Structures are given as structure tokens and as C-alpha cells.
């Protein structure tokens, strides 16, 4: 609800535009989600079981891929894929310098060395040319990141990988439902990892999954995700008396539970509707900001179906007297949530030892200096978008550079 039309920004002493905070994100949970979770709780089967099996089957049908393995996070999915493909000490994995820390953490946890590649200006996805520049004889895998809800140039990444015998694990944490030239993300590389975190287009609160067309890889992933056992708990329970199992590899505990799977199953059955609502919010922003002198809008590469997990604008800093951090604080003072995606990996203290002094990331640097992620979620109203745009314009006009 709009509180005032006063032109002075709240951070400069004016009255906040909104009385109530517009959060950066609000989960889209309704009664159908609550009912399916409640039914699962009443069933008495809470861990890996029949609902998880149903979720995996419906995810595979939706993506158009043979195998889906539901796990407890996208981080676990990436780690398991790396392990199942034999990545380990002495190997290098090339990934994006503009990603969340979990992408790089999973590489380090295998004992391999992460190698960071710069992004491209158009989509903020990793640049295939930069991946090629960072490839060495030690490169075992590429881990391209589909940023914000649209695909990277995955065909070029795959061509490079196949010409050199390199495996491809896609980080599609942002991009469930996205497609590239009419083909769903999740059907391209050796394996694709998705996130079902609370802010994602499809949520289980915490969770994720792996998709792969490779039956042998899927079998290894299932064993690794559940203690290395040949049969999971539901398989043994469903087949009365079939208590026997074998441990063939020292696996991990990464499976998804039926309680979380129930939420995921309900969400999956309306994910296209939820994505359509996000797309409508994105269009409202684009319509209102298209002619702005202060803000540069996100772009969609032809052939991409964007799912709008993020709506990232870039400030035209040459027209403003403030930097990005001051702008985000000013927007927060108007009771409007926003964020920054992401702090480049090489700026975190822990990862600096993995960066050579000669490594440079000019596109990441330019992007990071002026990127702002605006609130976007399915239940946002048009008047919410109006408030965000009004606040942005109020701040920009007050801090406009006049010389």
C-alpha cells in the first residue's frame, strides 16, 4: 500500500513509499500444497518412499528425460554428479565466476580444483569462449550455470566438451522449466542439477534433483545418494521380507523425504502457472522501465524460454551520484526488498587461493558493480510493481548526476 507521493527518498529524510514491507520473495503455497503434505504425514511414511517415487516419475515426464533422482539439495545433486562421473583429486572443473558458493564448494569437496570462467554481458551466464580459455589437459568436467532462469549457450559448451572428452554437469538451480531452442533444460549434458529451495519456481522448502539420460549414471547416483545401498528403504518395505541389501560404494545420505516430495509434487502440477505469473510480473517491470535513463533491463537471447527466477536490472552508474550499495539501501528504506546475485566467487576470502594473480574477470566486475535483483514472485500485484518502479525512479532522480 502506497503511503505518500512525497518526492524525497526515505533514505534522505522522506517518508517511506510503502507502509508494509514488500519482501524480495514470498513462497507460493496454497491449500493444494498443504493438503498433499498433510495426506503424506497421515500416511505414516515420512522418509524416502512412494511419494518421492511419484515425484521422480512426474519430474522425468515434465523434463522429457529418462531418469530423475530427487535429493535433499541442489548442492548435493552437483556433488553426487561429480563423484559419479569420477571427478576427484588432480582434476579440474571449469565453472562460472558468477554463481553461488555451493557450485564451487561441491567441486572442492570432491578434491578437484575449481577453475573460474568469466560471464557474458547478454545473459550473465558463463561464456563458452571463456570456458575454452580456461580448459587444460587436467579438465575433467565443465559445470555451466544457467543464470536467473534462462539457459547459457549450452550447445556450444557441449560441442567443446565432446571434442575433448570432457563431461558436462549443468547447474540449473535457477532454471527449472526453462528451455533452449524448444528443448527443456535437464536434457542436454551428462547430468543436470536443479534446486527446489524456498525461492525457486518449484519449491520443496529444501531439496533438489538430478536428471540424466544415462541409465548407468542414474544407477550410480541412486546408490551414492542413499548410503551406497543396492535397495532403498521403500523398496525393502514394499517387498515384504526383502530385507537384504548390499553396499557397493561408500555412499552418502542425500535422499529426499516423502514429506518434502509431497510439496514438490503439488508444486510441479502447477509449475507452469507459477512461472506464467512470474513472467507477467517481469513484463510489468519491462513495460514500466523500458525507456528509463537510469536502469538497464535484462535481455533474453533468442531461442531461450526464460522462467524469471530472478529479475536483474543494472544501474547506469554514469547517470547517478551513488553506487549500487547505496541504491539498494535506499530501496530498502522505502520498505522494498531487493538483493544482489551474486558476489563473484573470487571475491570471497576462502576462494582467493584458487585464483591466479593473472586471472581477470572484467565482465563479472562490470556486472557486479551495478546489478540489483528486484522482487519477483507469483503473488506480486501490479500495484506492487508500480511501487517498486516509483521508488526506483524517486531514488534515481534525487541522486541524478547533473554534470
CA gap 92, 115 in Å, rounded: 7
Measured at the CA of 125, the angle between CA 121 and CA 127, to 5 degrees, comes to 75
Q: Do 125 and 153 meet the contact criterion of CB atoms below 8 Å apart?
A: yes
Sheet holding 295-296: strands in order across? 295-296, 311-315, 371-374
216's grid cell: 548407468
In the chain, count H helices and then E strands. 13, 13
The dihedral through the CA atoms of 332, 334, 337, 341 has a sign that is negative
CA neighbor of 368 nearest in space, from 96, 24, 98 = 98
Enzyme catalytic residues: 200
- Dihedral (Cα; 347, 348, 353, 359), 10-degree rounding: -20
375's grid cell: 522482487
Phi and psi, residue 58, nearest 5°: -70, -35
CA gap 116, 345 in Å, rounded: 8
Which residues does 311 contact at the CB level (< 8 Å), separation at least 6?
A: 148, 281, 282, 285, 298, 373, 374, 376
Amino acid at each position: 500500500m502506497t503511503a505518500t507521493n512525497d518526492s524525497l527518498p526515505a533514505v534522505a529524510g522522506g517518508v517511506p513509499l510503502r507502509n508494509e514491507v514488500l519482501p524480495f520473495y514470498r513462497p507460493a503455497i496454497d491449500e493444494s500444497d498443504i493438503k498433499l503434505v498433510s495426506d503424506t504425514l497421515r500416511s505414516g511414511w515420512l522418509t524416502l518412499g512412494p511419494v518421492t517415487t511419484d515425484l521422480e516419475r512426474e519430474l522425468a515426464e515434465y523434463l522429457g528425460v529418462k531418469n530423475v533422482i530427487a535429493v535433499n539439495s541442489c548442492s548435493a545433486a552437483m556433488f553426487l554428479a561429480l563423484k559419479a562421473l569420477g571427478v576427484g583429486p588432480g582434476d579440474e572443473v571449469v565453472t562460472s565466476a558468477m554463481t553461488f558458493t555451493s557450485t564451487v564448494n561441491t567441486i572442492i569437496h570432491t578434491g578437484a580444483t575449481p577453475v573460474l570462467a568469466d560471464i557474458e554481458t547478454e545473459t550473465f551466464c558463463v561464456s563458452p569462449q571463456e570456458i575454452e580459455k580456461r580448459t587444460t589437459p587436467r579438465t575433467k568436467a565443465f559445470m555451466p550455470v544457467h543464470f536467473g532462469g534462462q539457459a547459457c549457450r549450452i550447445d556450444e559448451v557441449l560441442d567443446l566438451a565432446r571434442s575433448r572428452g570432457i563431461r558436462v554437469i549443468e547447474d540449473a538451480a535457477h532454471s527449472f522449466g526453462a528451455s533452449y531452442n524448444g528443448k527443456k533444460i535437464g536434457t542436454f549434458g551428462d547430468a543436470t542439477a536443479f534446486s527446489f529451495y524456498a525461492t525457486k519456481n518449484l519449491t520443496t522448502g529444501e531439496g533438489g534433483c538430478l536428471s540424466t539420460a544415462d541409465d548407468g549414471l542414474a544407477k550410480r547416483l541412486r546408490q551414492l545418494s542413499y548410503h551406497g545401498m543396492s535397495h532403498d528403504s521403500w523398496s525393502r518395505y514394499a517387498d515384504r521380507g526383502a530385507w537384504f541389501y548390499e553396499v557397493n560404494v561408500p555412499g552418502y545420505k542425500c535422499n529426499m523425504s516423502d514429506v518434502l516430495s509431497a510439496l514438490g509434487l503439488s508444486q510441479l502440477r502447477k509449475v507452469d502457472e507459477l512461472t506464467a505469473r512470474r513472467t507477467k510480473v517481469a513484463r510489468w517491470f519491462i513495460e514500466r522501465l523500458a525507456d528509463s535513463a537510469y536502469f538497464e533491463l535484462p535481455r533474453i537471447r533468442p531461442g531461450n524460454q526464460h522462467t524469471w527466477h530472478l529479475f536483474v536490472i543494472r544501474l547506469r552508474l554514469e547517470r547517478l551520484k551513488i553506487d549500487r550499495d547505496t541504491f539498494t539501501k535506499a530501496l530498502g528504506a522505502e520498505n522494498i526488498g531487493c538483493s544482489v546475485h551474486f558476489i563473484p566467487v573470487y571475491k570471497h576470502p576462502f576462494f582467493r587461493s584458487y585464483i591466479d594473480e593473472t586471472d581477470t574477470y572484467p565482465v563479472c566486475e562490470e556486472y557486479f558493480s551495478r546489478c540489483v535483483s528486484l522482487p519477483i514472485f507469483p503473488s506480486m500485484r501490479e500495484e506492487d510493481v508500480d511501487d517498486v518502479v516509483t521508488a526506483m525512479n524517486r531514488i534515481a532522480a534525487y541522486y541524478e548526476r547533473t554534470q
